[in-house]
Amino acid sequence: MKLIGKPLRYLPTRGDFTLRNLIITAVALLAAGTANAETYAIQAGRLIVDAAKPALGPSTVIVTDGRIIAIQPGATAPAGATVVDQRSRTVMPGMTDVHVHLTMNSGEPWYIGFTRKYSAPYATTMGLTHALEMARAGFTTVRDLGGDTSAVIALRDAVAEGRFAGPRIRVSGAGLSMIGGHGDPATGLPPELAAAIDTAHLNRSVCTGVQQCQEVVRKLAAAGVDVIKIMATGGVLDPGAMGLEQHFTFDEMKGIVDMAHSLHLKVAAHAHGARGIEAATNAGVDSIEHGTLIDEAGVKAMKAHGTYYSATLMAFSGVNGLLGTGKLTPEMESKARIILARWGNGLNLAYRGGVKIALGTDSAVAPHARAGEELGLMVSKGGMTPRDALIAATRGGPDLMGLSAETGTLDPGKSADLIAVDGDPLSDPAAVTHVGYVMVMGRPIAMNAN
């Protein structure tokens, strides 16, 4: 055994303790860890390795040290392996949701964000519960696109370290907004309250002009986010009356994107209005979120730039349930009716135009635990085939996020991110709403008792 080309017997000695002994001990511990590594044999009645390919019959996925090491025909198991019998189910890659809000709850009135319930520490605890809900719903990777920056980073890191159960998480922190735009917490408030919010420095991601917006991007990058989110247009669930069209100028959007890309961060653009979608796409964003009022010009731009589309159709369901409850302002209700009249139309147009699709739900507008219903809406309202919806749910997100080498299919060598569902999701998208087993990065997720 050698270290940097030198035999271990020649390593320097210091008293009774030698570097040689340290290295030998470390190697022994490593060998012991490998020898004691837990191996799982997940037995499937039907196996989907890749949603873009035909399913296999009865098969077994062998997992060691959190990674898929082999796929074998039939119900087999290496000696000493933990056998996971899912022979009555379809085993498939875990799903990815590229648009969630883990630190927020569904069904709450618009003003709830101004209460102590949304302090960063409390929001973090809510995020941990929602992360587990999403894992149990079959999502092994999620991208949080908007929450208190410190809260979502703490949430991401705690789950990644295995302190709490949940999916792989990527976060944007607070989304960039123009003054008075979607994402500005002072929007629609009385002047006294708006001034108090500014004084408390809660508008950290509200910016004007290229230089100031680029400074915000740098600060978010320094805080440790994984992606930048920009509010390229107005939104439904803000009390402002600026509408759903373009907010930032094109130069501001281009400056944000250029800075983010220079820092190796992708950019997701909240965008409803047609011209805002087109401007954000031409500015170089990596994904359009919602894309409700997209037109042919927007589709053409997205296709040319290779921009991903995330329709978040479950959000429409959540908004629909809030109409007439008093939980929305009159401005919100007006905007909600505009988007509900186009429910699924944007996805259908983008899909037929050959735009790349990734599944996103905007969970928090609708319950996190129901995120799997997005596939059915992608088929029934967006016009996608069940197979293409499943490809968007499994492969689309990892490709958008730069995680394709790690997850999205069950090829040997990849992370063991898999789920078992009742039925055949290649023909019936509702199958993914019946999840019986989940493994994230080789760690089984405890499911709710039935």
User: Which pLDDT score is estimated for 107?
Assistant: 75
List, in order, residues 6 or more apart from 292 with CB less than 8 Å away.
Answer: 244, 272, 339, 342, 345, 346
How many Å apart are CA 439 and CA 297, to the nearest integer? Answer: 41
Beta strands in 298-366 (DSSP E): 308-310, 356-357
In the predicted structure, residue 4 carries a pLDDT above the cut 70: no
Q: Are 49 and 37 in contact (CB under 8 A)?
A: no
In the predicted structure, residue 30 carries a pLDDT above the cut 70: no
Confidence tier at 422 by pLDDT (50, 70, 90): very high
User: Which pLDDT score is estimated for 448?
Assistant: 81
Range of lowest pLDDT (35-44, 52-61, 344-353, 422-431): 35-44
Strand pairing of 95-100 and 443-444? Answer: unpaired
State pLDDT tens for residues 385-405: 999 999 999 999 999 999 999
State the angle between helix axes of 313-322 and 330-340 in degrees (0 to 180), rounded to the nearest 10: 140
In the predicted structure, residue 203 carries a pLDDT above the cut 60: no
List, in order, residues 6 or more apart from 219 with CB less than 8 Å away.
Answer: 204
pLDDT higher for 331 or 112?
331
Q: What percent of the chain has pLDDT over 90?
A: 72
Range of lowest pLDDT (46-60, 71-85, 160-174, 234-248): 234-248
User: Averaged over 243-248, what is the pLDDT?
Assistant: 88
User: Which pLDDT score is estimated for 194?
Assistant: 64
State the angle between helix axes of 274-283 and 250-262 in degrees (0 to 180), rounded to the nearest 10: 40
User: Which pLDDT score is estimated for 108?
Assistant: 75
User: Averaged over 227-231, what is the pLDDT?
Assistant: 98
User: Which pLDDT score is estimated for 5?
Assistant: 33
Range of lowest pLDDT (275-284, 335-344, 423-432): 335-344
State pLDDT tens for residues 147-176: 999 999 999 999 999 999 999 999 999 999
Q: Phi/psi class of residue 348: alpha, beta or left (left: φ > 0; alpha: ψ in -120 to 50)?
A: alpha
User: Which pLDDT score is estimated for 318?
Assistant: 85
pTM above 0.85, yes or no: yes
CATH topology of domain 39-93+412-444: Urease, subunit C; domain 1 (2.30.40)
In the predicted structure, residue 15 carries a pLDDT above the cut 60: no
State pLDDT tens for residues 251-288: 999 999 999 999 999 999 999 999 999 999 999 999 99
In the predicted structure, residue 20 carries a pLDDT above the cut 60: no
**Residue 56 per-residue DSSP state:** B
Domain ranges of the chain: 2-29, 39-93+412-444, 95-401
How many Å apart are CA 307 and CA 235, to the nearest integer? Answer: 20
User: Which pLDDT score is estimated for 333?
Assistant: 85
Q: Look over the chain and give the mean of its residue pLDDT values, rounded to a whole number.
A: 88
User: Which pLDDT score is estimated for 128?
Assistant: 97
The tokens describing 203, both together, are 């508008």
CATH architecture of 95-401: Alpha-Beta Barrel (3.20)
Written as one string, the DSSP assignment of 232-280 is -B--SSSS--S-SSB-S-HHHHHHHHHHHHHTT-EEEEEE-SHHHHHHH
Number of H helices, E strands in the chain: 14, 19
How many Å apart are CA 36 and CA 38, to the nearest integer? Answer: 6
**Alpha-carbon separation of residue 151 from 132, 143, 204, 223, 273 (angstroms):** 16, 14, 14, 11, 30
User: Which pLDDT score is estimated for 401?
Assistant: 98
DSSP 3-state of 361: coil
User: Which pLDDT score is estimated for 2?
Assistant: 30
